[in-house]
Amino acid sequence: MAQVTIYARRHCIETRRAAISDAVHGAVMAALAYPAEKRFHRFIAFDGEDFIYPEDRGENYTIIEISMFDGRSESAKRDLIEELFARLEAEAGIAPHSVEITITETPRVNWGIRGVNGADLALGYKVDV
Protein backbone atom coordinates (compact mmCIF):
# COMPACT_ATOMS: atom_id res chain seq x y z
CA MET A 1 0.00 0.00 0.00
CA ALA A 2 1.25 3.48 -0.83
CA GLN A 3 -0.71 6.69 -0.28
CA VAL A 4 0.76 9.81 -1.90
CA THR A 5 0.04 13.41 -0.93
CA ILE A 6 1.28 16.16 -3.23
CA TYR A 7 1.54 19.75 -1.99
CA ALA A 8 2.19 22.71 -4.29
CA ARG A 9 0.96 26.13 -5.25
CA ARG A 10 -2.49 26.12 -6.81
CA HIS A 11 -1.27 27.14 -10.28
CA CYS A 12 1.32 24.33 -10.35
CA ILE A 13 -1.28 21.71 -9.48
CA GLU A 14 -4.01 23.08 -11.75
CA THR A 15 -1.73 23.13 -14.79
CA ARG A 16 0.12 19.86 -14.12
CA ARG A 17 -2.16 17.61 -12.03
CA ALA A 18 -2.44 14.78 -14.59
CA ALA A 19 1.25 14.91 -15.50
CA ILE A 20 2.30 14.89 -11.83
CA SER A 21 -0.02 11.99 -11.05
CA ASP A 22 1.25 10.01 -14.04
CA ALA A 23 4.89 10.72 -13.13
CA VAL A 24 4.39 9.75 -9.49
CA HIS A 25 2.47 6.59 -10.32
CA GLY A 26 5.00 5.59 -12.97
CA ALA A 27 7.80 6.00 -10.44
CA VAL A 28 5.95 3.96 -7.80
CA MET A 29 5.23 1.17 -10.30
CA ALA A 30 8.81 1.10 -11.57
CA ALA A 31 10.60 1.24 -8.22
CA LEU A 32 8.21 -0.76 -6.05
CA ALA A 33 6.73 -3.21 -8.60
CA TYR A 34 3.36 -1.66 -7.76
CA PRO A 35 0.17 -2.60 -9.68
CA ALA A 36 -1.11 -0.08 -12.23
CA GLU A 37 -4.64 -0.09 -10.80
CA LYS A 38 -3.48 0.96 -7.30
CA ARG A 39 -3.23 4.75 -7.74
CA PHE A 40 -3.90 6.68 -4.52
CA HIS A 41 -3.04 10.38 -4.87
CA ARG A 42 -4.24 13.45 -3.00
CA PHE A 43 -3.44 16.95 -4.18
CA ILE A 44 -3.35 19.87 -1.78
CA ALA A 45 -3.15 23.21 -3.55
CA PHE A 46 -2.09 26.40 -1.79
CA ASP A 47 -2.52 30.05 -2.57
CA GLY A 48 0.85 31.81 -2.58
CA GLU A 49 0.51 33.34 0.87
CA ASP A 50 -0.29 29.92 2.38
CA PHE A 51 2.77 28.09 1.03
CA ILE A 52 5.99 29.65 2.25
CA TYR A 53 9.36 28.29 1.12
CA PRO A 54 12.77 29.61 0.02
CA GLU A 55 12.71 31.56 -3.25
CA ASP A 56 15.44 29.42 -4.78
CA ARG A 57 13.02 26.46 -4.99
CA GLY A 58 11.05 28.23 -7.74
CA GLU A 59 7.34 28.73 -8.32
CA ASN A 60 6.78 25.01 -8.97
CA TYR A 61 8.10 23.94 -5.57
CA THR A 62 6.40 20.62 -4.77
CA ILE A 63 6.40 18.42 -1.68
CA ILE A 64 5.60 14.73 -2.07
CA GLU A 65 4.80 12.65 1.00
CA ILE A 66 4.47 8.90 0.59
CA SER A 67 2.96 6.73 3.33
CA MET A 68 3.44 3.01 2.81
CA PHE A 69 3.73 -0.36 4.50
CA ASP A 70 7.18 -1.08 5.82
CA GLY A 71 9.21 -3.80 4.16
CA ARG A 72 10.74 -2.16 1.10
CA SER A 73 14.51 -2.36 0.79
CA GLU A 74 16.75 0.68 1.00
CA SER A 75 17.55 0.11 -2.66
CA ALA A 76 13.86 0.22 -3.63
CA LYS A 77 13.36 3.48 -1.71
CA ARG A 78 16.44 5.03 -3.32
CA ASP A 79 15.15 3.92 -6.73
CA LEU A 80 11.75 5.45 -5.96
CA ILE A 81 13.25 8.83 -5.08
CA GLU A 82 15.47 8.76 -8.17
CA GLU A 83 12.51 7.82 -10.38
CA LEU A 84 10.37 10.59 -8.88
CA PHE A 85 12.98 13.29 -9.57
CA ALA A 86 13.53 12.08 -13.14
CA ARG A 87 9.88 11.58 -14.06
CA LEU A 88 8.63 14.80 -12.50
CA GLU A 89 11.18 16.74 -14.53
CA ALA A 90 10.60 14.85 -17.79
CA GLU A 91 6.81 14.48 -17.59
CA ALA A 92 5.64 17.46 -15.52
CA GLY A 93 8.40 20.02 -16.09
CA ILE A 94 9.26 20.31 -12.40
CA ALA A 95 13.02 20.58 -11.83
CA PRO A 96 14.56 18.33 -9.16
CA HIS A 97 15.70 21.34 -7.11
CA SER A 98 12.00 22.26 -6.76
CA VAL A 99 10.95 18.86 -5.34
CA GLU A 100 11.19 17.47 -1.82
CA ILE A 101 10.16 13.90 -1.04
CA THR A 102 9.54 12.10 2.24
CA ILE A 103 8.70 8.45 2.70
CA THR A 104 7.01 7.32 5.90
CA GLU A 105 6.72 3.60 6.55
CA THR A 106 4.46 1.98 9.11
CA PRO A 107 3.72 -1.65 9.95
CA ARG A 108 0.79 -3.16 8.07
CA VAL A 109 -1.01 -3.67 11.39
CA ASN A 110 -1.29 0.14 11.66
CA TRP A 111 -3.50 0.32 8.54
CA GLY A 112 -7.21 -0.37 8.08
CA ILE A 113 -8.30 -0.97 4.49
CA ARG A 114 -11.68 -2.04 3.11
CA GLY A 115 -12.87 -3.15 6.54
CA VAL A 116 -9.80 -5.29 7.25
CA ASN A 117 -6.66 -4.75 9.29
CA GLY A 118 -3.71 -4.25 6.93
CA ALA A 119 -1.88 -7.19 8.51
CA ASP A 120 -4.71 -9.50 7.39
CA LEU A 121 -5.21 -8.01 3.94
CA ALA A 122 -4.43 -10.07 0.83
CA LEU A 123 -2.62 -7.54 -1.36
CA GLY A 124 -2.00 -9.31 -4.65
CA TYR A 125 1.48 -7.75 -4.91
CA LYS A 126 4.77 -7.96 -3.01
CA VAL A 127 5.87 -5.41 -0.43
CA ASP A 128 9.36 -6.82 0.14
CA VAL A 129 11.01 -5.47 -3.00
Mean pLDDT, residues 19-29? 97
Tell me which residue range forms the domain holding 24. 2-120
Does residue 28 lie in a domain region? yes
Q: Is the pLDDT of residue 102 over 90?
A: yes
What pLDDT sits at residue 1?
67
Percent with pLDDT over 70 in the chain: 99
pTM here is 0.92
Let me know if residue 98 belongs to a domain: yes
How remote is the C-alpha of 24 from its chain's centroid? Answer: 6
pLDDT at 128: 74
Residue 125 domain flag: no
Output the pLDDT for position 42: 98
Residue 59 lies in a domain: yes
Does 97 fall in a domain? yes
Mean pLDDT (the chain) is 94
For 68-80, what is the mean pLDDT?
95
When divided into structural domains, the chain yields a total of 1
Q: What is the amino acid identity at position 62?
A: T
Following CA atoms 69, 74, 80, 86 in sequence, which dihedral angle do they give, to the nearest 10 degrees?
A: 160
Residues 6+ away with beta carbon under 8 Å from 85: 96, 99, 101
Residue 65 lies in a domain: yes
Q: Is residue 127 part of a domain?
A: no
On the question of pLDDT at 124 being above 80, the answer is no
CA-CA distance, 29 to 62, in Å (whole number)? 20
**21 occurs within a structural domain:** yes
* Percentage with pLDDT > 90 across the chain: 80
CATH number at residue 28: 3.30.429.10
State the pLDDT at residue 2.
87
